Structure 1
Amino acid sequence: MSQGIDRFFLLSYCLACCWPGFASRASELRIVRQWPQLDFVFPSEMAMGIAMERRHYVPGNSVPIDVDVHHRQGALKSRIFITIPRFDEGRPVTLGTVDEQGRVSAYPDYSWHENQGSNCNGLTSVFRVAVDECNRMWVMDTGKIGDTQYCPPKLLAFDLATDNLIYQHVVNASSYVQNSLFITPVVDVRRRGRDCADTYVYVADVSGFGLLVVDVARDRSWRVTHRLFFPFPSRGTFTIDGESFDLMDGVLGLALSPHRQGGDRFLYFHALASTTENVVRTSVIRNSSFLHDSNADPQSIHVFPDERPIQAAAEAMDRNGIMYFGLMEPPSIWCWNSATEYTPRNFHQIAMNRETLQFASGVKVVNNLKGEQELWILTSSFQRVMTGSLNANRVNFRIHAEKIERLLENSPCKNPPKDQSHGYHANRITQNHGPKLTTYRYGAVSFL
């Protein structure tokens, strides 16, 4: 881990316990930042006054959703990015960096944010971002504040060496619907040496129940629809720390398998209101035939037969094919090695804490300057946001981090059974025949 972030860490030991019936190991995550409510840095007192007068800034209204990190060379400190979607009024900044005191500064600067939807050249509302291996940060702007579509959705990329905008793709009206809300981007760099031109970005449409595919090199995009992008009505009620709320969100969590030279990649995904995990070969969704017909072949996208015990939000996968995700109840972080069957007996606990690990809405695997992998997680009292019971007298939002090697020490996720070290379990339920796949039987289960 870079010295900059190492200095930032405030050590916090999570409560360690095992979930009955699950093979698990308790470990620690460190709390890097925490807030009762967010505090912002404005360009001037006048700018803050104007924002408050126009209700662009309402103290206590801002809710962080995602985190990502940019480790920098030399004397430059590493940067922590957070996103603050504009669910409604009062969010002065929708994407920012966090300083050592926890204050949020607008990224790339305040002029991108003060428009509040009145100028579509700025940022309207951002749920999640993705920093890739080519030193670029990809930002998906929904164009919405609340339910109002002020601007068309757009995907932007910033060069993190200069903080300059280097790419922008405005989504064509044919690729989204009235309810669309593009919230989770993952980046598929098909790198040749130092050449990063061949890049695809996959974005979850949580309310429009679809997937946006952006072909960056050709500056085009298309929409993919499938029944597995929809929520499950029976899974639309969430209970966290004794408080319940209903939210019928579709596809939200996305994770990419590691790139293997000459091989395909898997995109894992799930709806928020679900307990299932799904998978598709990226060669299927990269097929440009979706430019003319967004409906995926029903047999080209697959669902694992077993399920999680409860809902999960964000997820991410490391270079060794190990997935990380949070579970709602009890609030906890888990891992699954994708070489093993997707089933609760292969889910292993990393940490559990009823107070600090509620609703893991941001989960990222970050490479530091030493080539080590780090797990970064943003958690929040999201249930209190939904029920209107948020209390500024308690800590509501936290950023956690730790080196993955330390988290997985002696974990079964790191050392799967030898008879299952064949690669990806998804290989057993998908066939590599391009976009038109046939039903494949695994044991007694057929996958459609």
Structure 2
Amino acid sequence: MFYMLIIFVLVFGRISSLATPEEVFEWKELTFAWPNDQAKQSAINEGNYIAENNLPLGLDRWRNKLFVTVPRWKSGVAATLGYLPLDEPINKSASIIPYPHWKANLLPKGDKATEDTHIISVFRISIDACDRLWVMDSALADILGEPKVYSNPAILIYDLNTDKLIKKYLLKQEDLKQDSFLANIIVDVPKGECDNAYAYIPDLGGYGVVVYSLKENDSWRLKHNFFHFDPLHGDFNVGGVNFQWTDGVFGLALGKPDENGYRTVYFHPLASLNEFSVNSAILRNKTLVNDPHIYYEFKLEGTKGEKSQTSASVFDEKSSTVFLTQLNRDGIACWNTERELTPENVPVVIQDSERLVFTNDIKIDTERNLWILSDKMPQFLFRQLDPNEINYRILKAKVDDIIKGTKCEA
């Protein structure tokens, strides 16, 4: 047996094992940093806080703050945007602190969001190199109950050094389709050009991508066949729940900038096994929106393999590696973009059928930690979570530790 092992190592290289991420936060139910006990009790009495209806979904890190989103899937979400302090010692079941403050997270009393500071419902966020937090507000509350639209979806941009809202942009009606659902935002900032930032917003329900230019304060929409879901791969089995989704373009990851400052944008529909790409020069040029020739600028990179449906993805520049959540596999996979995209080159590098049930979002911070949020969302949506179990987790691991000994290692 020993000699067989030696032969295996000589032929196939080092034996790698799955990485084990550190569990930083865990909750049975989310709690919030209320001003006082009276405020909490009042929220409970008025139905503004129903603990079991608060599910964390998106995250990103800035210095000593880990931002977390809590979409308003159901009524009783106390705050849709907040953060967790990362100062030591860390409380693993810390209460979420609303950002930028409680007032911004309260639903408007009328039918419309009358103040620019209102945040209705947030799925994902993105922090850029200029210390700004970009928030994609769906403006839709109580999605699974009595849905209420307060405005068109909006981009909100905060200065993280001052916690001030510096821009709110309502998407135009022509940016939207009847079935539009905007749940993600990726920010592309050319080096040293903070005022020339772009946001790429995938529309998973309307099968398009909306682009926003900060400099022009304008937005436009692109369509492509690659933005649609694959009808052969919309079947999911996660955490004992079987369901079918038709989610289109969902995750985007920005590659390295070229000599002109443009990047390869890797993307995929959620209900698909394929990964695609397009150069950001195409997305940024609004004059190309109706040009039929740009169809051929979009490329199929390859297929990730069976059961490799992915929600979020993120790119690590140092290793040229894209990390991809694996919803049907309870884990995370990786792909070194300097290799051909084949199932053999997309290994699962983190897997845990207890702690990583529905890896909803991932981000890489400036220290090259991969942060992972898992939240058992299928049980939350289609069944009921057990309040006596750990349901929500945030974990992290060093990128180099994750890819060591795998085909993603440079």
TM value normalised by structure 1: 0.81
How does 1:85-124 map onto structure 2 within 5 Å? 85-99=71-85, 100-101=90-91, 102-116=94-108, 118-120=112-114, 121=116, 122-124=118-120
Q: Which residue of 1 aligns with 2:240?
A: 242
Q: Which residue of 2 aligns with 1:306?
A: 303
Q: Which residue of 2 aligns with 1:396?
A: 391
Contact 2:282 2:294 in 1 (8 A): no
Contact 1:223 1:290 in 2 (8 A): no
Q: Which residue of 2 aligns with 1:167?
A: 167
| CA distance, structure 2, for counterparts of residue 343 and residue 326 of structure 1 | 16
1:59 matches 2:51:
yes
String of CA shifts for 1:194-244, please: whole Å, max 9, x gaps: x41111110111112111100111111101111211112222221013321
Shift of 1:187: 0.9
1:26 matches 2:18:
yes
String of CA shifts for 1:245-284, please: whole Å, max 9, x gaps: 2222111111110223425311111111111111111111
Unaligned runs of 5+ in 2: 1-14
Match of 2:200, SS state, is: strand
Contact 1:24 1:349 in 2 (8 A): no
Q: How many residues align?
A: 380
Q: Which residue of 1 aligns with 2:10?
A: none
In structure 2, relative to structure 1, the CA distance for the partners of 1:359 and 1:297 (3 Å cut) is same
Q: Which residue of 1 aligns with 2:365?
A: 366
| CA distance, structure 2, for counterparts of residue 81 and residue 285 of structure 1 | 27
Which stretch shifts more, 333-342 or 140-149?
A: 140-149
Shift of 1:319: 1.2
Shift of 1:348: 2.4
1:134 matches 2:130:
yes
Q: Which residue of 1 aligns with 2:324?
A: 325
Match of 2:52, SS state, is: coil
String of CA shifts for 1:299-345, please: whole Å, max 9, x gaps: 22222343432111111001132100121233121111001111111
Match of 1:108, SS state, is: coil
| CA distance, structure 1, for counterparts of residue 354 and residue 183 of structure 2 | 26
Among all aligned residue pairs of Structure 1 and Structure 2, give the percentage whose two residues are the same amino acid.
29
String of CA shifts for 1:76-129, please: whole Å, max 9, x gaps: xx1111111111211111111124432111100010011257424200010000
- State the AA in 1 paired with 2:27: W
TM value normalised by structure 2: 0.88
Q: Which residue of 2 aligns with 1:190?
A: 190
Shift of 1:296: 7.6
Structure number with the higher helix fraction is 2
In structure 2, relative to structure 1, the CA distance for the partners of 1:54 and 1:297 (3 Å cut) is farther
Q: Which residue of 2 aligns with 1:213?
A: 211
| CA distance, structure 1, for counterparts of residue 73 and residue 229 of structure 2 | 20
| CA distance, structure 1, for counterparts of residue 283 and residue 292 of structure 2 | 10
Match of 1:47 among 17, 39, 44: 39
| CA distance, structure 2, for counterparts of residue 294 and residue 49 of structure 1 | 56
